[in-house]
Amino acid sequence: MKLAIVKHLDEGHNIRAIVDKFNVSKGIVKAAKENKVLILKKAENNRSLPKARIVKQSDINVILWRWFARACARGYSINGPILQGKAKQIASEVEVEGGEFSASKGWL
């Protein structure tokens, strides 16, 4: 969101318009404006990560979220270990190579 705020500032939008668009405080927008260089550097560093890894992990998250929403809608009780097991199953189905994905408690 900070990156989007910085981009809107660069496009010439005023702070009030950005506050309304993103539903954030003026302080957040001002902080993003002051830390523009740092935010842009972090965004650039994130782009250097292997794209395939990001895509596959994102796929796992999306598929898991859809499964979780359906299970909850049907009244199933889902806990952490169940989510982790399902995530591992999905990771093997999307063929995450070399153990790149770990459904650890930190990931959860």
Minimum mean pLDDT among 32-36, 41-45, 71-75, 98-102: which range? 98-102
Cα separation of 101 and 81, whole Å? Answer: 16
- What does pTM read for this prediction? 0.46
Share of the chain above pLDDT 70, in %: 81
Residue 75 has which token pair?
């009244």
Q: How confident is the model at residue 54 (pLDDT cuts 50, 70, 90)?
A: very low
